Structure 1
Amino acid sequence: MPSTPSTDSPPREAQTRAFVPSLTLSGFTVSLINILPVPLLPSLPELLGTTPTYAYWTVTSTLLVAAVSTPICGRLGDMLGKRRVLLYCLGLMIAGSVLCACAGSVATLIGGRALQGCAAGALPLGLSIMRDQLPARRLGRGLAAMSASVGVGGTVGFPLAAFISEHANWRMLFWLVVAVGVVQVSLVAFLVPESGIRHGGRFDWIGAALLSAGLVCVLVALSKGHDWGWTSPAIAGTALLGTVAVASWVRYESRTGQPLVNPRTLSVLPMLLTNMVTLLVGFAMFVLSLVVPQMLQAPPGTGYGTAWSMVEAGLALAPAGVAMMAIVPVSTRIVVRLRSKGVLLLGCGAVGSGYALVIPLSGSSWIVLAPAVVGIGLGLAFFAMPAIIAATAPAAEIAAANGFNTLVRQLGAALSSALTSVVFANFNVRIPVDGVMRLYPSRTGLTVALLAACAACAVAAVVTTCIPREVP
């Protein structure tokens, strides 16, 4: 069916100034949720009587559900109204946060964290509302601000979560998200207009089921390989099932009349290459939150640690968030000279350079320079990605296209979480702390994780050079 044109009058300037910050808060909330349990990872096994592998699933489960829910929410937004679906996503996030705050076992906590992952749909929906409602002169800066808020939420959220973990009950972290969610729902309900652009039809339940099954199986195989054995029948069977499900999804989507995500849109070269870069940058982005805080909190006996507190380690990430927001207004000027492709290439190079600085600066207060350089790169990359998508996708499919791009970013972060946990499980050292033997990643494990991030950025830069020159 053709798109339904908007019958609403364009928002006044005062209205846009109100709803843009409201939508930007959605990006902050999504990244805050992703990073929330990271400061707790070393102590979660003791708090809930579980293993480090299951503790990492409090991170991976959220990223996994986020990866699955984003294209689904994008498609529903195109069909039912983007603002309405955005409110549903935030409602599920609040419900999951309450479940986490009341959790008495790691299984309940993982379940609540999975519900929180539904909030990831807020990011593509917010970007799409901006595309529908903002005038062209304000669209670029609005898209950049919301995309940058994803990284800012992570870097600001970590020290905040660390401070609460050190000085209050860990459950307060999740009550904090409940409060943020209620504020977010109120702002969206009263300040954000509904987009009049919709695309009718039926929802692709088969495509959604195939995609969900494929992503779940692949990520389970990656995260449980160390525990089950990489050559075990369970891992081989799970990985094979995931591969078959993803291949079946691609085949089905190319044949159905109303797909979850239009394969023809995704196969357009600028869109395809941008999603590949997004996967790699998403992988690299999450390494910062997983590696640097653990490095700084580890004792000197590990050979690299500085024994900083959780709050101090979290504050070391703050320069990344500051740099991301500071680069937003500069990005709009850089794109005039370099175009979106050039900005994306510059961003990939900066992220990789930042990770290359981590090991040489470890043990020194100058370590804060590394997150700052990474933040600059992420700000540039996150500015360029939605700009390329906005210029490539049809208006009727913009929410679904943004949803798939966010899926790819979340998938990259989920892969980062799963693979980093595998690396740390294979490369670790036991160090006595206050008379108790504790397990920490070895210097080799940290180096492998950082080199993986650098390699991802290098490949992303190469892929970026292949984006056609005519992309604005």
Structure 2
Amino acid sequence: MLAVVLLAVFSYALLQSLVNPVLPRLQKDLHTTQSQVTWIVTAYLLSASIFTPIMGRLGDRYGKDRILIVALVALAAGSLVSAVAPGIGVMIAGRAVQGVGGGVLPMAFGIIRDEVPPGKVPAAIGATAALTAVGGGAGIVLAGPLVDALGVRSLFWIPLAMTALAAVAAHFVVPPSRSRQEGSINWASALLMAGWLLALLLPLAKAPAWGWSSPRAIGLLVAAVVLAGSWFVVEARSPSPLVDMRMMRVPAVWTTNLVALLLGIGLFSVFGFLPAFVQTPPEAGYGFGASVTEAGLLLLPMTVMMFVAGLVSARWVIRLGARTMFAASTTLNVIALAMLAFEHDRPWQVLVAMALLGVAFGSAFSTMSNVIVAAVRPEQTGVANGVNVNVRTIGGSLGAALMGGIVSAHTPAGGLPTENGYVYGFAALGAAGVIAALAALLVPGRKPTADAVPGRHERPAAVLHQVRKS
């Protein structure tokens, strides 16, 4: 069962970044413009952001095993549409369908909590969280070789085969959910949440092209504030909320989500901008003139160390506590981003910075998932992890907008970005990392133990306390 869940997680994570390095090839293959081809990434981001928490809530209500299969089928269907797309419009639609597969992550964490023996839950969650990060890095590493060997459409055919295999296996291997949250789904709340996420993330993704002062960007950001306020009121009054606001106020939950937001700013920006940095010809005063494949290999240390750190961090968080782990991870994040900003003249410097970032993100994301799982009731696991994943995505959108704005401001018309654009951009990401390190100090310092994670037949301590009190 765990092998099937990990295959599902890796398939989804791979699709997050697999097409990013080859957008110019897709632009040529689809005979479209640069502004249109970026919607291949934007559509996936927006769809995943909207559907991840919704699918998490559906899994908590109707069964995580069922919704996992739905998410995998959506990934496979979207991959098929994108693989055979004759034009840019159909491929964008396929990528939007793939975004529904964002439900794989909260379902994976929920299934592990329900089915894995309690003492092994932290390690299994750590491996799953690490594989999530590894998939994003592996997509960038594998994109070039796959395109060179099999063509650009192989970036959709291969994930199609993986997700279809995972869906069939999940049908036979993953048992029905033992814990379910009663009550109907508040679809008005779901629509409001989709509305404010769309209104927030769309201008963040397109502001470099639109301009921050454009009426579209300002109007959407204002709409995001209004819709988010309305959503909060509806959720607070609903007897069956999509996202329980009491759960979100738990200290371990909101502080972990704050760290996730700030760390996400750095992770997705590095994935998005470092390949372009190392591919820049040295004649520009920086860069190594790397190919797409070589640029991916420079990210390989980050991918490897993410996985290693994710595997071992579950043991360390039990010994040291979540606060200490977050403090160490965020500090490594700042050191690595400072290296990228000020020490990037040699390939080995980039390799070292990538390895440090891998340790930082792998240990942090593994710790986040374990803290969230231990802090909420079993029937809230899906939606709680869906929100945490979404918070990281919002952080990534903020980071990409920040980095993109700085690099664009230091790009002459018709030319390459200047070195200062990247220096100031990575330094700004490092500043966000410093804030993340400070936020880590807010995380409750109690050391979790393996026995603290509620298992299949246990009720969380908070519930037992209320029973005794009554």
TM-score (norm 2): 0.90
2:393 counterpart residue number: 410
Give the Cα–Cα distance (whole angstroms) in 1 for the partners of residues 280 and 25 of structure 2: 13
1:468 counterpart residue number: 444
Query: 1:83, CA displacement in angstroms?
Result: 0.8
Amino acid at match of 1:275: N
Query: 1:126, CA displacement in angstroms?
Result: 0.5
Are residues 1:324 and 2:306 paired? yes
Query: 1:268, CA displacement in angstroms?
Result: 1.4
2:46 counterpart residue number: 64
CA 1:43 to 1:300, structure 2 compared with 1: closer, same or farther past 3 Å?
farther
Contact 1:63–1:413 (CA under 8 A) maintained in structure 2: no
Give the Cα–Cα distance (whole angstroms) in 2 for the partners of residues 54 and 447 of structure 1: 28
Query: 1:43, CA displacement in angstroms?
Result: 4.0
CA 1:343 to 1:258, structure 2 compared with 1: closer, same or farther past 3 Å?
same
Give the Cα–Cα distance (whole angstroms) in 1 for the partners of residues 411 and 87 of structure 2: 26
Contact 1:63–1:411 (CA under 8 A) maintained in structure 2: no
Q: Secondary structure at the match of 1:230?
A: coil
Amino acid at match of 1:372: A
Give the Cα–Cα distance (whole angstroms) in 1 for the partners of residues 222 and 25 of structure 2: 34
Give the Cα–Cα distance (whole angstroms) in 2 for the partners of residues 301 and 246 of structure 1: 47
1:427 counterpart residue number: 410
**Unmatched runs of 5 consecutive residues or more in structure 1:** 1-18, 431-437
Give the Cα–Cα distance (whole angstroms) in 1 for the partners of residues 415 and 101 of structure 2: 33
Identity score, percent: 33
CA 1:157 to 1:233, structure 2 compared with 1: closer, same or farther past 3 Å?
closer
**Unmatched runs of 5 consecutive residues or more in structure 2:** 449-470
Give the Cα–Cα distance (whole angstroms) in 2 for the partners of residues 190 and 449 of structure 1: 48
1:379 counterpart residue number: 362
Query: 1:283, CA displacement in angstroms?
Result: 2.1
1:333 counterpart residue number: 315
Q: 1:390 aligns with which of 368, 373, 382?
A: 373
Contact 1:83–1:195 (CA under 8 A) maintained in structure 2: yes
Query: 1:102, CA displacement in angstroms?
Result: 1.8
Give the Cα–Cα distance (whole angstroms) in 1 for the partners of residues 2 and 416 of structure 2: 42
Q: What are the within-5 Å matches in structure 2 for residues 15-414 of structure 1?
A: 19-366=1-348, 367-414=350-397
Q: Secondary structure at the match of 1:198?
A: coil
Give the Cα–Cα distance (whole angstroms) in 1 for the partners of residues 49 and 233 of structure 2: 20
Q: Secondary structure at the match of 1:428?
A: coil
Query: 1:237, CA displacement in angstroms?
Result: 1.5
1:450 counterpart residue number: 426
Amino acid at match of 1:150: T
Aligned residues: 447
TM-score (norm 1): 0.90
1:441 counterpart residue number: 417
Query: 1:462, CA displacement in angstroms?
Result: 0.8
Query: 1:419, CA displacement in angstroms?
Result: 4.2
Contact 2:403–2:426 (CA under 8 A) maintained in structure 1: no
Query: 1:471, CA displacement in angstroms?
Result: 5.8
1:6 counterpart residue number: none
Give the Cα–Cα distance (whole angstroms) in 2 for the partners of residues 255 and 408 of structure 1: 23
Q: Pick which of 341-350 and 202-211 moved more.
A: 341-350
CA 1:440 to 1:90, structure 2 compared with 1: closer, same or farther past 3 Å?
farther
Give the Cα–Cα distance (whole angstroms) in 1 for the partners of residues 150 and 407 of structure 2: 28
Give the Cα–Cα distance (whole angstroms) in 2 for the partners of residues 46 and 424 of structure 1: 24
Deviations 1:147-202 (A, max 9, x none): 00011112222121111223432111111111111122133222222221111211
Q: Pick which of 359-368 and 125-134 moved more.
A: 359-368
